[in-house]
Chains A and B, each alone.
Chain A
Amino acid sequence: MSIVTVQLGQCGNQIGHEVFSALCSDSCGTHGLCSKNENQSYQDCCKERFFCEEQSAVPAARAVLVDMEPKVISQALSMAASSGHWRYSSHSHFCQKQGSGNNWANGYCVHGPRHKEAIMELVQREAERCDRLGGFLTIMSMAGGTGSGLGAFVTQCLRDAFPTSFILNHVIWPYGTGEVIVQNYNSVLTLSHLYHSSDALLVHENDVIHKICAQLLNIKQISFRDVNQVIAHQLGSVFQPAHTAGGGSGYSRNPLGDLLESLVPHPEFRMLGLRNIPQMAESSLPYSTFSWPGLLRHLRQMLIANAQMEEGIDWQVRPPQPGSSIPCTNKPLHFNTSIANLLILRGKDVHSVELGSFQDPSLYTSWLNPQDAFTAWKTPRAFNKYEKSAALVSNSQFLLKPLDSIVGKAWNMFASKAYLHQYTKFGIQEEDFLDCFTTLEQVISSYTNL
């Protein structure tokens, strides 16, 4: 089953390019640590899922590239082409000359309707090239104008045109100290709109990835390219072929569906966080060995304590004692309650892994059966040169604090009416803002009361 990726705006297109590069280099790599047959099967599955084999030997990514200015797409196209291993189709991109000016209203109210036909035609074409369409993955930032505003509009169009397909939005949250001054407005508008049309939001925060680059990867002068490559690695660990049913019954035929089924039991709760372990500089890899118990112990504590990476974890945080139901106000502070978790394990000895600790009911809300709340995918084929690696996709309170912070800052700015004239000029009124704030306060309240 194939996934069509829609890359939106500068961030979406820069990351999208790194994702396809990572997928390609992992699947073509020889570090699979498994049989030749297994490796071949992995490669074939990855290829079918993300690439389209055309007459020329170089596979074309199943992607639609959208931006309101030409420079980034142009770079992405040429970088892919020069890799020699994959490329973007020559007619799968749409761009304009002007950009969206970091203005969500411009992206959503002006560019969206104006270019809807052209963009959806590209998507339709890409969808038709799939033997079986497994759904859509959109990649966008919520801070700017195109990825955020046009991205929200396109997501709605996808929902209207493909009512039964899965839609997963990969959303990048900007640095807290600011990349764009109106980023909090754009974020509130984006998240509230996506909540209505998307199946789930898979979130990466720039601050978190930046820390990983600095402390785990020891990169001195961190560029956006570095950040994007970490994000691509993390996404790859989720989206590369995996065994979702027990035993070696082949790779999942419905990756997005399987993911959403295991993580989103209730439409009010759609925010997914992602943690990946281990993460280290490639040069250190040959000198490191890991044990599954060690990796999983760290990952579990990262989940419980809401740690952003495997260093600096607060080991003091413990789940509440089991027993009679505890009102949520009495839950220990800083404890991260989960609704559902998905653990994706790849590499050596993966079938011998003991996962009881993740099925502990005290990790979860009381209203879901622990068996239903936790899912594990075990795949012997190693990922991206890591002998053992684990990814945790979590529907939990991971994003509660950052979300609350963004809404709080946006609200403060809204109360002073700053910048509102920039939005009303393109068709977003104060009432529209209020609706969005209401939606998000509802989400915050729901997650807080887990």
Chain B
Amino acid sequence: AVSLPFAVGQCGNQVGCRFWDLALREHAAVNKKGIYDEALSSFFRNVDTRSGDNGPDIYRGKICSLKARALLIDMEEGVVNEILQGPLRDVFDSKQLITDVSGSGNNWAVGHKIYGCQYRERIMEKLRKTAEHCDCLQCFFIIHSMGGGTGSGLGTFVLNLLEEEFPEVYRFVTSVYPSGEDDVITSPYNSVLAMKELNEHADCVLPIENESLFEIVNKIHQMINSGKLGSAVKQNSLVTSSAGSAKTVPEKPFDAMNNIVANLLLNLTSSARFEGSLNMDLNEISMNLVPFPRLHYLVSSLTPLYTLADVNVPSRRLDQMFSDAFSRDHQLIQADPKHSLYLACALLVRGNVQVSDLRRNIERLKPSLHFVSWNQEGWKTGLCSVPPVGHSHSLLALANNTCVKPTFIELKDRFMKLYKKKAHLHHYLQIDGMEQSCFSEAVSSLSDLIEEYNELDATKGGPRIDASRLKIAV
């Protein structure tokens, strides 16, 4: 089953680039014989390029030329051009790209209304073409940031389009939320306008905050430079590293952070691509983690962040991995799930981990976690046999937890600060199709969402009342 990623905007494409690079690295590590297999077909087509770039797809046999199943969309050329000139240039062809030159000016309305309208047909056409090459399309991924204009505006436009044209295909969105110190002044406007779209049209959203990625990168730097573990760490095991991938130029500062997001996506899809004793597909993630349609924001964490080179893994280290997955400093947003309320939790384990390890750790950690009353044993688990590159095992935890609330509240506050003063509003309102009501509806949608989380939080720690059962006349 195919997962089709759309990278939209600068951030989306930078992350996307890391994603395909690390995906190739992962498959190369597993697929020693160079045979095009079911696992590869999730993200790549095998094309016979003897007849040029338009060669037919080859469905089995040796790998000829791998092309990523993807759409890269940006209203500026810089990032996409870099990809096309870099080591991944052969993995994409021009038919998968949609670019323009002037950018969206950090304006959601430009991205959504102007470019959306302008590029609608072209996006549809390329989408249909790409979908034709997939024998079974299970899921779309949108990778974008919320704070800018293209990723945020055009990205959510694409989200709408996907729902219209392919209503049965799941829509997962990986959204990078702006921090308080974001240098784009209008990022709160862009984010809140985009949030309304995510509320209404996404099946699952994985929010990411740069601050969290940054802290993880720093943590690893400190650990390596402290001299204690420096040489002992397997370079290619760092969740931030590009080691072993095609990228050979020195890493830019965002590369390390983007690698984390790329690894998130790889781990999320690992059980759909590789075999295991308890498979966990993407449609299962949506089914189990979304109890009510609008509560579809999932906090994610990846562990371990690195692996030591010389290790034989004792189970204590394995258990540490599970503990870390629930700690504040491993979450990819600024949140503390342990002290908030869980609606649902998924654990996707990769590598040499068995069901008894899972059970032992769930038993151990459960007492310190707060689950909503109607889902006290709400765990979704998956076991994938193939570990990520450089590791013997790894864990991806996805939590539907009220700890996302603070992120949304802060976003709303920043929005209101600007909106009250009507700062920069004219840049938006002058766009065709934009009215004041777009703003009020968007912030209202966000407020409603926050209120739903508030109501759930209010039940936390309350007495557990079991609903009375049906009575049968004897």
Pairwise interchain contact A412-B374, C-beta atoms closer than 8 A: yes
- Give Cα distance in the complex from A442 to B288, angstroms: 28
Residues A422 and B287 in contact in the complex (CB < 8 Å), given A69-B281, A97-B136, A223-B355? yes
- Chain B, residues 187-215, CB within 8 Å of chain A (1/0): the string is 00000000000000000000000000000
**Contact residue range for chain B?**
35 or more
- Give Cα distance in the complex from A423 to B138, angstroms: 18
Contacts of A414 in B (CB 8 A): 467
Contacts of A441 in B (CB 8 A): 469-472
Interface residue A290 (Cβ < 8 Å from any Cβ of B) = no
Interface residue B379 (Cβ < 8 Å from any Cβ of A) = yes
B226 → A minimal CB distance (Å)? 33
Contacts of A421 in B (CB 8 A): 292-293
Write 10 A-B pairs (CB below 8 A) sorted by A numbering. Answer: A98-B1, A103-B287, A176-B377, A177-B377, A181-B378, A182-B287, A408-B466, A411-B466, A412-B467, A419-B287
Interface residue A289 (Cβ < 8 Å from any Cβ of B) = no
Interface residue B474 (Cβ < 8 Å from any Cβ of A) = yes
Interface residue B99 (Cβ < 8 Å from any Cβ of A) = no
B interface residue numbers (CB < 8 A to A): 1, 38, 135-136, 138, 275, 277-279, 281, 283-284, 286-293, 315, 343-344, 354-357, 359, 362-363, 366, 373-381, 383, 466-467, 469-472, 474
Residues A222 and B355 in contact in the complex (CB < 8 Å), given A177-B379, A178-B379? yes
A11 → B minimal CB distance (Å)? 9
Contact of B359 among A102, A145, A177, A409 (CB under 8 A): A177
Contacts of B277 in A (CB 8 A): 14, 223-225
B321 → A minimal CB distance (Å)? 15
Residue of A nearest to B469 (CB): A411
Pairwise interchain contact A71-B275, C-beta atoms closer than 8 A: yes
Residues A449 and B474 in contact in the complex (CB < 8 Å), given A69-B281, A175-B359? yes
Interface residue A221 (Cβ < 8 Å from any Cβ of B) = yes
- Chain A, residues 203-221, CB within 8 Å of chain B (1/0): the string is 0000000100110000111
Pairwise interchain contact A180-B354, C-beta atoms closer than 8 A: no
- Chain A, residues 394-413, CB within 8 Å of chain B (1/0): the string is 00000000000001110111
Pairwise interchain contact B278-A412, C-beta atoms closer than 8 A: no
Residue of A nearest to B400 (CB): A181
- Give Cα distance in the complex from A441 to B470, angstroms: 7
- Chain A, residues 78-101, CB within 8 Å of chain B (1/0): the string is 000000000000000000111111
Pairwise interchain contact A445-B287, C-beta atoms closer than 8 A: no
- Give Cα distance in the complex from A214 to B284, angstroms: 29
Pairwise interchain contact A222-B374, C-beta atoms closer than 8 A: no
Which of B290, B374, B376 has the most chain A CB atoms inside 10 A of its CB? B374
Residues A102 and B288 in contact in the complex (CB < 8 Å), given A69-B1, A412-B373? yes
Contact of B472 among A96, A175, A442 (CB under 8 A): A442
Pairwise interchain contact A223-B292, C-beta atoms closer than 8 A: no
Pairwise interchain contact A101-B284, C-beta atoms closer than 8 A: yes
B204 → A minimal CB distance (Å)? 12
- Chain A, residues 315-333, CB within 8 Å of chain B (1/0): the string is 0000000000000000000
Residues A445 and B374 in contact in the complex (CB < 8 Å), given A182-B288, A419-B291, A422-B290? no
Contact of A181 among B354, B357, B379, B472 (CB under 8 A): B379
If over half of B's interface residues share one DSSP class (helix, strand or loop), that class is named, otherwise mixed; here it is mixed
Residue of B nearest to A144 (CB): B284
Contacts of B470 in A (CB 8 A): 411, 437-438, 441
Contact of A97 among B1, B293, B467 (CB under 8 A): B1
Contacts of A177 in B (CB 8 A): 359, 362-363, 366, 377, 379
Pairwise interchain contact B474-A181, C-beta atoms closer than 8 A: no
Contacts of B292 in A (CB 8 A): 417-418, 421
Contacts of B378 in A (CB 8 A): 178, 181
Residue of B nearest to A413 (CB): B374
Contacts of B136 in A (CB 8 A): 96-98
- Give Cα distance in the complex from A116 to B373, angstroms: 39
- Give Cα distance in the complex from A303 to B339, angstroms: 44
Pairwise interchain contact B381-A178, C-beta atoms closer than 8 A: yes
Within 8 A of B (CB), among A148-190: 175-182
A303 → B minimal CB distance (Å)? 26
- Give Cα distance in the complex from A412 to B373, angstroms: 8
Pairwise interchain contact B356-A409, C-beta atoms closer than 8 A: no
Given contacts A14-B277, A407-B469, 7 further A-B contacts (CB under 8 A): A97-B135, A101-B286, A103-B287, A179-B380, A179-B381, A411-B469, A449-B474
Residues A181 and B375 in contact in the complex (CB < 8 Å), given A70-B38, A412-B466, A449-B474? yes
Contacts of A444 in B (CB 8 A): 472
- Give Cα distance in the complex from A409 to B376, angstroms: 9
Interface residue A276 (Cβ < 8 Å from any Cβ of B) = no
Contacts of B344 in A (CB 8 A): 181
- Give Cα distance in the complex from A74 to B276, angstroms: 12
- Give Cα distance in the complex from A214 to B474, angstroms: 41
Contacts of B278 in A (CB 8 A): 10, 179, 224
B26 → A minimal CB distance (Å)? 17
A221 → B minimal CB distance (Å)? 5
Interface residue A75 (Cβ < 8 Å from any Cβ of B) = yes
Residue of A nearest to B285 (CB): A101
B399 → A minimal CB distance (Å)? 12
Pairwise interchain contact A223-B354, C-beta atoms closer than 8 A: yes
Pairwise interchain contact B291-A418, C-beta atoms closer than 8 A: yes
- Give Cα distance in the complex from A223 to B315, angstroms: 15
Pairwise interchain contact A221-B356, C-beta atoms closer than 8 A: yes
Pairwise interchain contact A71-B279, C-beta atoms closer than 8 A: yes
Within 8 A of B (CB), among A413-450: 413-419, 421-422, 437-438, 441-442, 444-445, 449
Contacts of A221 in B (CB 8 A): 315, 354, 356-357
Interface residue A299 (Cβ < 8 Å from any Cβ of B) = no
Contacts of A417 in B (CB 8 A): 292
Pairwise interchain contact B474-A445, C-beta atoms closer than 8 A: yes
Contacts of B472 in A (CB 8 A): 438, 441-442, 444-445
Residue of A nearest to B473 (CB): A445
Interface residue A350 (Cβ < 8 Å from any Cβ of B) = no
Interface residue A140 (Cβ < 8 Å from any Cβ of B) = no
Interface residue A355 (Cβ < 8 Å from any Cβ of B) = no
Pairwise interchain contact A181-B469, C-beta atoms closer than 8 A: no
Contacts of A411 in B (CB 8 A): 466-467, 469-470
Residues A98 and B467 in contact in the complex (CB < 8 Å), given A70-B38, A177-B377? no
Contact of B275 among A75, A182, A222, A412 (CB under 8 A): A75
Pairwise interchain contact A101-B366, C-beta atoms closer than 8 A: no
- Give Cα distance in the complex from A100 to B366, angstroms: 28
Pairwise interchain contact B279-A10, C-beta atoms closer than 8 A: yes
Contacts of B363 in A (CB 8 A): 177
- Give Cα distance in the complex from A69 to B282, angstroms: 12
- Give Cα distance in the complex from A184 to B403, angstroms: 26
- Give Cα distance in the complex from A413 to B466, angstroms: 10
Pairwise interchain contact A72-B279, C-beta atoms closer than 8 A: yes
Residue of B nearest to A438 (CB): B470
Contact of A214 among B138, B343, B356, B469 (CB under 8 A): B356
Interface residue A133 (Cβ < 8 Å from any Cβ of B) = no
- Give Cα distance in the complex from A5 to B344, angstroms: 36
- Give Cα distance in the complex from A180 to B287, angstroms: 10
Which of A219, A411, A442 has the most chain B CB atoms inside 10 A of its CB? A411
Interface residue A227 (Cβ < 8 Å from any Cβ of B) = yes
Contacts of B375 in A (CB 8 A): 181, 413, 418
- Give Cα distance in the complex from A75 to B38, angstroms: 13
